[in-house]
Chain A
Amino acid sequence: MLRHFLYLTNSRLVSMVTRGKHIAMRREFAASSAGAAQFDQHLASLAGAPVYLFTDLAEEDFRLDTVPHVGARDREAIMGRKLVQMFRNTPFRHAVVQGREAEGRRDDRVFYTAITNPEVLRPWLEAIERRHAPLAGIYSAAVFSSVMLDELDLLFPHTLLVTFTPGGAMRQTYFRNREIKFSRLTPIDPEEGQSLGTLISEETTRTWQYLDSLRHFAEEDRLEVCVMLHPTDRAVVQPALRDFAQIQHHILDIEQVAAKLGLRPAPLGSTCEEIFVHLFLLRPGQNHFASPEMRRFDTLRRAKAGILSFAGAAVLASLGWGAWNLQQALQKSDVDQRVAQQIQTLNGEYDAITRSLPSFGVGGSTMRDAVSFYNASIRGFPQVTDFAVALSGVLARHPGVRLAQLAWIATDDANATPVLRKVASSEGMPVTATGTPVAPVKAADAAAQGTFSSGRYEVAVIEGTVRVPINDFRGALDAVGRLASDLSAMPGTSAAIVESPLDLRTSAQIHGRHEGAEPDTMEPRFVLRVIRDHRAET
């Protein structure tokens, strides 16, 4: 960023253009109408660069005063009135509050300064105004020089800073405890035979006397005179400077000062305007003399810069947000592409699987349902012939038993019992019993309703007779009991006697008839219920 610094003395105006922290261009203009015209042209070439005007003029006046310690607004009003009273004929005035008195009412200590002859500034300010150059401020070099004490660590109770201005003048500024109290500008106009060193020594001694007359010093106080010089001048100045008990001289080598402040290249002479510019770049100061009206173009410049910065920030922020969003979206897009490839691969795999499926001219679901139905309902469905073969195997071990009837059903109801029509007869038996059967006959409900069972159970009712010696009912009961027991030994099978050869229950009625000659044997009737559970079987 370009900045335009002006250093105005009574005889000339120095223009310094900085870029960043470096002085990029320097020009000097004579304090004349011709110089002002040249400056006007020069200013045209620097349109837009903010202007910082330092004044180092003989017409600057400095005064100390105290005001009652009041609120900020009232204090401003008081200081404003004081400034008008003190410097009635100039708009270039400034006040600095420096703290409070240590004693009494503890009033505020105020330092006033003004450029008592505004005409000195007029041609330059007119050019600035005419060119709409943004004037950032008008600064008193003397007041601003307090910054130099801080930066150069000149921490003395009483300091007299001696600097040289372009155009041959010497500025002496007195600081007590680093607060400016007084400043004066003296032309360097040595008398015949008087060297620069002698001149400085005499002038600083004169200043000490003046300050002492104003009771700035106690008896033991010493004024530290800091003279900023180029090495070329130092050789001629230093020998002339005599230290006393009240005055101690310090030479500030301007090249060393420049090096300490980071100013490159160092100034070529003892004038310190470039040092001030660099100090200002390091520690910008507040405007001293320029009114808001004079600074309006700078205000507008800063407003414009602020608006454009905000606009730029808005665009940058949106671009940043957009880029982040776009990056996220692109990541998702990459993922989507991979997903699309995966989907394509999966679809290809699906097609390959579909093509490889066994086909019988029907859909896969038809095949699945048909097989499922077969496995669930037909594959394990029992067959009556299997049951009859197993039954025959058992009956073979019971030669006295004669099968009269077999009723068989395949069902899912363990309680279902096939209906039996009585075939065998107990007629001719010497002893018979009448009563209700042990297990009432129950029709197969599911079969009656037409539902096709899975055939978990085979239920059979077996009617038969057992040949035993006449009246050997015990033997008949045992034979039927053994038969039931042998049937129950088949896997998953249990057999129960529904009607025994002789019903011995107390609820039954027994009839006996013995007459005449009886045959050798008898064949009492019995009924068994056999149930075979195929799940228990497995």
Chain B
Amino acid sequence: MTPAFTREGWKVLRGAWIGLAGAIVAAILIVSGSHWYGVKERRDSAEAGRRLQEARAKVEGARRERDNLNESADVFRMLVDRGLLQREQRLDLVEMVNGLRSRYQLFGLDYEIAPQRPLPLPGGRVFPSIDVLASRVKLHAKALHEGDILGFMDELSKQRQGFHPVDECTMRRIAGAGDGRLQAHVEADCTLEWITLKDKGANRAG
């Protein structure tokens, strides 16, 4: 039997065995502690890297947005000036149409303004921040000369307030209008969309 495992051996080596046990425990603690710290640092580092990427992307997005907005600012200012983001002022439209009728001396003017609706766009396109609304306006006008009708339509579509793109228009001569009396020679049926935009954010806030 080796002396290390006798009673005397145990007595002599007791301190060494305790030291070894302590050393093993210390080694385990050191290894596991440093491993834990290393893993934590690696995790923190990965997290920091991710946050850095996010921050870079955020700044890059902000730069792009700034560039886009700088380019768009003039256009947007014009849109704001023309009341694109305001609610429909139907009375203004009525007054404007009446005013134009007088200016262009239309013999007759009938119009209908349909209820406002969300305007379907080609391909079902929608915008995340705005709602596109429109009221369909149908006009029936009679005039002495087609130039009056064209002038009326041109001025209507170029009004400084609102956007009124005409997408259908039919002009025709009125049959039997050549007897010399002052009467309408031309009539027109036109349809336009009165477009306004609504800020979805304002909608939510409201």
Q: Do A and B bind each other?
A: yes
Given contacts A319-B30, A410-B165, whether A404 and B58 have CB atoms under 8 Å apart is: no
- Whole-angstrom distance between the alpha carbons of A370 and B201 in the complex? 13
Residues on the B chain within 8 Å of A346, using CB: 52, 55-56, 58-59
Shortest distance from the beta carbon of A356 to any chain B beta carbon, whole Å: 7
Shortest distance from the beta carbon of A393 to any chain B beta carbon, whole Å: 13
Count of chain B residues with a beta carbon within 8 Å of a chain A beta carbon: 92
Q: Which residue of A lies closest to B29 (CB)?
A: A318
Shortest distance from the beta carbon of A462 to any chain B beta carbon, whole Å: 10
Instruction: Say whether B112 faces chain A, with CB atoms less than 8 Å apart.
Output: no
Instruction: Say whether B23 faces chain A, with CB atoms less than 8 Å apart.
Output: yes
Contact A373 B132 (CB under 8 A): yes
Given contacts A353-B59, A370-B84, A452-B134, whether A300 and B4 have CB atoms under 8 Å apart is: yes
Return the CB mask of A298-324 against B: 1 if under 8 Å, else 0: 011001100110111011011101110
- Whole-angstrom distance between the alpha carbons of A242 and B40 in the complex? 85
Residues on the B chain within 8 Å of A365, using CB: 128-129
Return the CB mask of B162-178 against A: 1 if under 8 Å, else 0: 01011111111101000
Instruction: Say whether B70 faces chain A, with CB atoms less than 8 Å apart.
Output: yes
Contact A362 B27 (CB under 8 A): no
Instruction: Say whether B68 faces chain A, with CB atoms less than 8 Å apart.
Output: yes
- Whole-angstrom distance between the alpha carbons of A308 and B16 in the complex? 6
Residues on the A chain within 8 Å of B63, using CB: 353
Contact A318 B30 (CB under 8 A): yes
Contact B3 A385 (CB under 8 A): no
Q: Which residue of B lies closest to A296 (CB)?
A: B3
Within 8 A of A (CB), among B77-109: 77, 79-80, 84-85
Contact B79 A371 (CB under 8 A): yes
Residue in contact with A315 in the complex, picked from B26, B56, B200, CB distance below 8 Å: B26
Instruction: Say whether A279 faces chain B, with CB atoms less than 8 Å apart.
Output: no
Shortest distance from the beta carbon of B57 to any chain A beta carbon, whole Å: 10
Instruction: Say whether A325 faces chain B, with CB atoms less than 8 Å apart.
Output: yes
Contact A339 B52 (CB under 8 A): yes
Residues on the A chain within 8 Å of B33, using CB: 322
Instruction: Say whether B183 faces chain A, with CB atoms less than 8 Å apart.
Output: no
Within 8 A of A (CB), among B17-35: 17, 19-20, 22-24, 26-28, 30-31, 33-35
Instruction: Say whether A490 faces chain B, with CB atoms less than 8 Å apart.
Output: no
Instruction: Say whether B195 faces chain A, with CB atoms less than 8 Å apart.
Output: yes
Residue in contact with A314 in the complex, picked from B15, B23, B35, B77, CB distance below 8 Å: B23
- Whole-angstrom distance between the alpha carbons of A339 and B41 in the complex? 13
Residues on the A chain within 8 Å of B52, using CB: 339, 342-343, 346
Shortest distance from the beta carbon of B187 to any chain A beta carbon, whole Å: 10
Instruction: Say whether A354 faces chain B, with CB atoms less than 8 Å apart.
Output: yes
- Whole-angstrom distance between the alpha carbons of A315 and B23 in the complex? 6
Contact B51 A410 (CB under 8 A): no
- Whole-angstrom distance between the alpha carbons of A412 and B80 in the complex? 27
Residues on the A chain within 8 Å of B191, using CB: 447
Residue in contact with B22 in the complex, picked from A311, A353, A411, CB distance below 8 Å: A311
Residues on the B chain within 8 Å of A444, using CB: 168
Shortest distance from the beta carbon of A161 to any chain B beta carbon, whole Å: 36
Return the CB mask of B31-68 against A: 1 if under 8 Å, else 0: 10111011011101100110110011011001101101
Residues on the B chain within 8 Å of A421, using CB: 170, 172
Contact B170 A405 (CB under 8 A): yes
Residues on the B chain within 8 Å of A332, using CB: 41-42, 44-45
Shortest distance from the beta carbon of B107 to any chain A beta carbon, whole Å: 18
Contact A353 B62 (CB under 8 A): yes
**29 A-B contact pairs sorted by A residue (CB < 8 Å):** A296-B9, A300-B4, A307-B17, A311-B19, A311-B22, A318-B27, A321-B31, A322-B33, A325-B34, A325-B35, A325-B38, A326-B34, A329-B34, A335-B45, A342-B52, A353-B59, A358-B70, A370-B84, A370-B85, A370-B197, A372-B127, A404-B172, A407-B170, A410-B168, A421-B172, A447-B167, A450-B136, A451-B120, A455-B167
Residues of chain A whose beta carbon lies under 8 Å from any beta carbon of chain B: 292, 296-297, 299-300, 303-304, 307-308, 310-312, 314-315, 317-319, 321-323, 325-326, 328-330, 332-333, 335-336, 339-340, 342-343, 346-347, 349-350, 353-354, 356-358, 360, 362-375, 377-378, 381, 383-385, 388-389, 403-412, 418, 420-421, 423, 444, 446-447, 449-455, 463
Residues of chain B whose beta carbon lies under 8 Å from any beta carbon of chain A: 2-4, 8-9, 12-13, 15-17, 19-20, 22-24, 26-28, 30-31, 33-35, 37-38, 40-42, 44-45, 48-49, 51-52, 55-56, 58-59, 62-63, 65-66, 68-70, 72-73, 75-77, 79-80, 84-85, 117, 119-122, 127-130, 132, 134, 136, 146, 150-151, 153-154, 157, 163, 165-173, 175, 190-191, 193, 195, 197, 199-202
Q: Which 8 A-B pairs have the closest CB atoms?
A: A311-B23, A318-B27, A322-B34, A405-B172, A329-B41, A369-B127, A346-B55, A371-B72
